A and B are shown apart, each in its own frame.
Chain A
């Protein structure tokens, strides 16, 4: 009697709205939607320049009337909401088109490193031997380099292409997953159900894959959200220093980089809007990761 109602009370408390979770999910969904349809709904082609160069965004006060005008068709040319840059690209179109490339790189890199890292982590944790210990120490050494420098060097060596960026990021994020999965595997493999599976006559490989692996993935999956956010930041950073995607691909880091030279001339808008976009995205993924961790790992 008492037990049941106590459990129910606990359950309702858990269901109380977690606002950070809502914020995280909203931002992440927006980014995902833009990645899907951003280029299709952008008012201008993000890779074709317009005749108007370095045009500031319209003052905020005019936005409602301009917006109304676009809706009713009384304004014949769609305004440059975020202005144009020194090459005449429409910044708004580029900002909403960029998630496609940024998110693709981040998702692909994260997916690759998740696969590789969870697999290696399982091996390193379950079949602990000299070989796996050497692997762990190697990944410690790799992790001790600043991620950004490593990424730059890898891309510089392999050449500037989207595939190479994905591979470089994947390599850099793998050790995180290896470490997370390994420590979870180490604690799971001493559990009774592993022993029971052994007593039933399962082979070690089957126990590792069917019993230990599914119970050891939660930390890595939760970390994914945070890693995707940082992968977007790193992609942008690489573009900023010229080691990322090539112009005129719409990409937030690249936009900040090309806009940066204009800031001294008072042209703040080419860099500001993509900057806000990156910050919000990284924030959204990080918050979502935290909320997931609270829910499922705590």
Chain B
């Protein structure tokens, strides 16, 4: 299978002319302290109809390299050497006017953060028309019509109306599509996409990348796709180029790269994927005989909307048990209410209704001041490691706080315990006097974990602890979490939208959509044979870093229509009915119950319960 995929790709590249050829490209910055070369010796070729993935850590020079390919360098940088052949000419030898004619016309670029790349003062149709008009002799009427066509092509519903929208009226996914429409308006021969989907939800990300891929296949251009997300790379790229310390360390077809990485750096970024596939072999301890640690019954949380009687229903009748030593994953897209669940469990948010039973006490009913004695046993690690540490406090002070609050150790004992904690999370005790700004994200997240385990808790809510980390750091953190669990007998509620990590770390998983749990089961059950249409779509949209089962090669995709609706005016029937390909009249009319599917699985879909939907085997 692997070999076949590799050869297929090579065959596709053969006999095609290169679109862009960079040779020994180097970019340098001359500063007061000396010369910095973020890109040195970049040699790279992108062929027609080829998607090349550019991978590397933050600061490895990816974005700088991409800009340099268009002859752009942020001041005070300069292109030190090399050549970029494009359409028979060396771009670096051209004057500014000639370069400008090529940029945007023959080379399009899509940058990160779609919203800030759109001009908030101009309607999107006008912006697309401006880009189009800058390179083509077009009247403003023609430009406007072109914009409508482009928006339709990138899959925006009702383009005639959307073309008159301002950036703030578009959702993140739509803004991103508007940008790709802009970049593609003059049919460039090369499209440079710099982390085009960072910050988008998985279903939207998949929709977007599908469209970009199809558009490029149809128009015959090439893509240079810059991403840290190996899932994106594996599923959409033909070739992978690894950039490390400003130089290319690996340049190979995607199948070979994932099967047998050569450079140590490539191996380190692929480690998590390896670990995750090995985890399949490790039998998950889902025997159901665990001692119950926390039981949640009918938890609900509403947020009132100011100046209106309406409420946002963040969590609705959620019931769940978490066993001792177990890891339960809570997955779903942004706005599904998964973070609110974690916050309600620790009473950082007051639940609107429901009970949370821990150690024989309903901790949702006791007075807030009475929570203190539970705080040492129930802890949380937040998403942003930097934000969750007091910027004025040293690591030592941070770790001393829980000890001061919950233990009666002497000062010397506390100091010893701090060293012990740092060692537990794999950090050197030397960093006790460092402030958060001196440390990197992965170190800070380890400090956060050390703080959470300082008082020997039984249960930790992990609220997307890996979402801001680089792939290599995620690997280390997840390994650490597993080791701590084994050593200290911790239970985790792991909240994440990164299904790769969930698969590796969790025993059971609950899928949330618009505040409801739509499916529960063991990781194997849900990941291998999802029942609910939403879980199917989520898993299908998730880009697992596996080039042997590429999304673009899959014929039938379980795809939801449109985007997540607002959680304010929810439909009467099934919340998914508006987007679900299997929706019937009854789905729209009846609220859905969570059906017991046997084998400790549940699903909130009557068609699944009645066996109407055949299992979508993956």
In the assembled complex, B245 has its CB within 8 A of some CB on chain A: yes
Q: Do residues B387 and A191 form an inter-chain contact, with CB atoms below 8 A?
A: yes
Given A199-B346, A201-B372, A201-B376, the answer on whether A192 and B382 have CB atoms closer than 8 Å is yes
In the assembled complex, A197 has its CB within 8 A of some CB on chain B: yes
Q: Mark A82-123, 1 if CB is under 8 A from B, else 0.
A: 000000000000000000000000000000000000000000
Q: Do residues B382 and A215 form an inter-chain contact, with CB atoms below 8 A?
A: no
Quote the shortest CB–CB distance from B398 to chain A (angstroms): 9
In the assembled complex, B391 has its CB within 8 A of some CB on chain A: yes
What total count of A-B pairs have CB within 8 Å?
Answer: 82
Quote the shortest CB–CB distance from B522 to chain A (angstroms): 29
Which B residue's beta carbon lies closest to that of A6?
Answer: B36
Given A199-B379, A200-B451, the answer on whether A12 and B387 have CB atoms closer than 8 Å is no
Q: Which residues of A contact B382 (CB under 8 A)?
A: 192, 195-196
Bound: A193/B380 CA distance, A? 12
Q: Do residues A12 and B33 form an inter-chain contact, with CB atoms below 8 A?
A: yes
Q: Which residues of B contact A201 (CB under 8 A)?
A: 371-372, 375-376, 402, 405-406
Partner of B405, one of A3, A12, A200: A200
In the assembled complex, B309 has its CB within 8 A of some CB on chain A: no
Bound: A8/B35 CA distance, A? 11
Partner of B36, one of A2, A197, A198: A2
Q: Do residues A196 and B33 form an inter-chain contact, with CB atoms below 8 A?
A: no
Quote the shortest CB–CB distance from B314 to chain A (angstroms): 16
Bound: A6/B39 CA distance, A? 13
Residues 363-397 (chain B) with a chain A CB within 8 angstroms: 369, 371-372, 375-376, 379-380, 382-384, 387-392
Size bin of chain A's contact surface: 20 to 34
Q: Do residues B33 and A8 form an inter-chain contact, with CB atoms below 8 A?
A: yes
Which B residue's beta carbon lies closest to that of A202?
Answer: B405
Residues 202-233 (chain B) with a chain A CB within 8 angstroms: none
In the assembled complex, B185 has its CB within 8 A of some CB on chain A: no
Given A5-B36, A9-B36, the answer on whether A200 and B375 have CB atoms closer than 8 Å is yes
Bound: A199/B389 CA distance, A? 12
Residues 32-57 (chain B) with a chain A CB within 8 angstroms: 32-34, 36-38
Q: Which residues of B contact A198 (CB under 8 A)?
A: 348
Size bin of chain B's contact surface: 35 or more
Q: Which residues of A contact B372 (CB under 8 A)?
A: 201
Q: Do residues B384 and A192 form an inter-chain contact, with CB atoms below 8 A?
A: yes
Bound: A1/B34 CA distance, A? 13
Quote the shortest CB–CB distance from A115 to chain B (angstroms): 20
Bound: A198/B36 CA distance, A? 44
Quote the shortest CB–CB distance from A189 to chain B (angstroms): 12
Bound: A193/B36 CA distance, A? 35
Which A residue's beta carbon lies closest to that of B368?
Answer: A204
Q: Do residues B33 and A3 form an inter-chain contact, with CB atoms below 8 A?
A: no
Which A residue's beta carbon lies closest to that of B392?
Answer: A214
Q: Which residues of A contact B390 (CB under 8 A)?
A: 193, 197, 211, 215
Q: Which residues of B contact A215 (CB under 8 A)?
A: 390-392
Q: Which residues of A contact B246 (CB under 8 A)?
A: 2
In the assembled complex, B362 has its CB within 8 A of some CB on chain A: no
Bound: A9/B392 CA distance, A? 24
Partner of A9, one of B31, B59, B402, B406: B31
Q: Do residues B388 and A193 form an inter-chain contact, with CB atoms below 8 A?
A: yes
In the assembled complex, B541 has its CB within 8 A of some CB on chain A: no
Residues 1-55 (chain A) with a chain B CB within 8 angstroms: 1-3, 5-6, 8-9, 12-13
Quote the shortest CB–CB distance from B108 to chain A (angstroms): 27
In the assembled complex, B491 has its CB within 8 A of some CB on chain A: no
Of A5, A192, A214, most buried by chain B (CB within 10 Å of CB) is A192
Q: Which residues of A contact B38 (CB under 8 A)?
A: 2, 6
Of A6, A9, A12, A199, most buried by chain B (CB within 10 Å of CB) is A199
In the assembled complex, B61 has its CB within 8 A of some CB on chain A: yes
Residues 213-271 (chain A) with a chain B CB within 8 angstroms: 214-215
Partner of B61, one of A2, A192, A200, A202: A2
Q: Do residues A9 and B391 form an inter-chain contact, with CB atoms below 8 A?
A: no
Q: Mark B61-72, 1 if CB is under 8 A from A, else 0.
A: 100000000000
In the assembled complex, B176 has its CB within 8 A of some CB on chain A: no
Of B31, B369, B371, most buried by chain A (CB within 10 Å of CB) is B31
Quote the shortest CB–CB distance from A141 to chain B (angstroms): 24
Q: Do residues B387 and A193 form an inter-chain contact, with CB atoms below 8 A?
A: yes
Bound: A9/B35 CA distance, A? 9
Q: Do residues A5 and B392 form an inter-chain contact, with CB atoms below 8 A?
A: no
Q: Do residues A195 and B388 form an inter-chain contact, with CB atoms below 8 A?
A: yes
In the assembled complex, B358 has its CB within 8 A of some CB on chain A: no
Bound: A294/B14 CA distance, A? 57
Bound: A214/B397 CA distance, A? 14
Bound: A196/B447 CA distance, A? 12
Q: Do residues B29 and A199 form an inter-chain contact, with CB atoms below 8 A?
A: no
Bound: A13/B32 CA distance, A? 8
Given A2-B38, A5-B33, A9-B33, the answer on whether A196 and B451 have CB atoms closer than 8 Å is yes
A sample of 18 more A-B contacts (CB under 8 A), given A5-B31, A192-B384, A200-B451, is A2-B36, A2-B60, A2-B61, A6-B38, A12-B32, A192-B383, A193-B389, A193-B391, A196-B389, A197-B390, A197-B401, A198-B348, A199-B348, A199-B380, A201-B375, A201-B376, A201-B406, A215-B390
Q: Please name 14 pairs of A and B residues whose Cβ atoms are closer than 8 Å in the assembled complex, sorted by A.
A: A2-B245, A6-B38, A9-B29, A9-B31, A9-B33, A12-B32, A191-B388, A192-B382, A192-B384, A195-B388, A199-B346, A202-B405, A203-B369, A215-B390
Give the top 10 A-B pairs by smallest Cβ distance, nearest first: A201-B375, A192-B388, A9-B31, A192-B387, A201-B372, A193-B390, A12-B32, A5-B36, A192-B382, A196-B388
Q: Point out residues on A near B: beta carbons under 8 Å.
A: 1-3, 5-6, 8-9, 12-13, 191-193, 195-203, 211, 214-215
Q: Point out residues on B near A: beta carbons under 8 Å.
A: 29, 31-34, 36-38, 59-61, 245-246, 346, 348, 369, 371-372, 375-376, 379-380, 382-384, 387-392, 401-402, 405-406, 448, 451
